[in-house]
Structure 1
Amino acid sequence: MSTTGATEPIADGRHDPIHRPNPLRWISYAYGAALPAKNRSWVYNDLTGAFAVPRHLLRSQFSFLPIYLAFYFGFPGQVGIRLAMVALAASLAFIFSLSYMAQNRARRLQKNGLDGTTLTQRRQREAEAERAAYEAIHGDRGATTS
């Protein structure tokens, strides 16, 4: 049983300096494309850092923007009716993106060569602290020997 994984940082690019993608790459990222390796730390921070949930919700609304525009400009009628269609579509898209947020974030992390965890960085630190406290109290009872 090796303890090097607990002390050495993972060499997957998440701790590299943050390089923000250019606008065209960000648009492709918003629609699900992977970014180059130099952007891995930015992706990791985007999906697990502070304000990851609001960023996810805004990014998902951005990806539905063509649908909103098609609803508004593609149907005849009064402005209020067209705005109501867009509002209904936006509320459904919001519920959809909120419901599948963990799966979407895990998949985006995997696409970009990172660990597919659904926990934010803050929650990861809390889980590690809880695990350390548990192991301090209960020792290594659950470890299997081979």
Structure 2
Amino acid sequence: MERPDPVRWLWYAFGGGLPARCRTWVLHDLTCRTWPLRHTLRGLVQVAPVVAVLLLIVPGSLPIRAASVTAGLLLGLLYSAAYQDEITEHRVAKAGYPVGTARRVRDQAHAVEREAQAERYAQIWRQAPTAPTSPISERPE
């Protein structure tokens, strides 16, 4: 697994494709345990130049510019998080894998953990119901 150099990583962060030799690294990047954090980091790298321009060039007081940039940044991160699955699948396809590969790899990696969670849930919440006791049926006649 060959990791891209910093310049190629920046290209990758902005949506560019990587050489075929980095193909397995791309799959790792999009399926490892920290993939949502990596996705967020790529999004922050993408907006960093815009943030710098807005903070340095747009006229107005610094607190207002900072608040505006922060609000825009949060909105951008919200959209990025909402579409992170689709974005990662697009990146996987750019690397030459079939669409759906990232989801399949992540699901296989966590299959045992999910099965254990489902079993715990079933033991706690799916127990056989006990016969209800009704205060009406306990009244003497």
Query: Which TM-score band (shorter chain)?
Result: 0.7 to 0.9
Shift of residue 126 of structure 1? 4.2
* Identical-pair percentage: 34
More helix by share: 2
1:119 maps onto 2:111 in alignment? no
Partners of 1:72 and 1:82 within 8 A in 2: yes
How many residues in Structure 1 have an aligned counterpart in Structure 2?
113
Instruction: Give how far 1:124 is off.
Output: 2.5
Structure 2: distance between partners of 1:87 and 1:25: 28
- The alignment's C-alpha RMSD in Å is 2.0
Aligned residue for 2:4, secondary structure, equals: coil
Equivalent-residue separation in structure 1 for 2:17 and 2:111 (angstroms) = 28
1:52 aligns with 2:32: no
* Alignment match, 1:40: 23
Question: Residues 1-146 of structure 1 correspond to what in structure 2 (within 5 A)?
Answer: 18-117=1-100, 118-119=102-103, 121-126=105-110
Please say if residues 68 and 89 of structure 1, whose CA atoms lie closer than 8 Å, have aligned partners that are also in contact: no
Moved >3 Å (runs of 4+):
125-130
Stretches of structure 2 that go unaligned for 5 or more consecutive residues are: 116-141
2-structure distance, mates of 1:86, 1:116: 34
- Within 1, Cα distance between the matches of 2:37 and 2:79? 14
Secondary structure (helix, strand or coil) at the match of 2:103 reads coil
Unmatched 5+ residue regions in structure 1? 1-17, 131-146
Say which SS state the counterpart of residue 60 (structure 2) adopts.
coil
Question: Aligned in 2, Cα 1:45/1:120: closer, same or farther, shift over 3 Å?
Answer: farther
- Structure 2 residue matching 1:33: 3-state secondary structure: coil
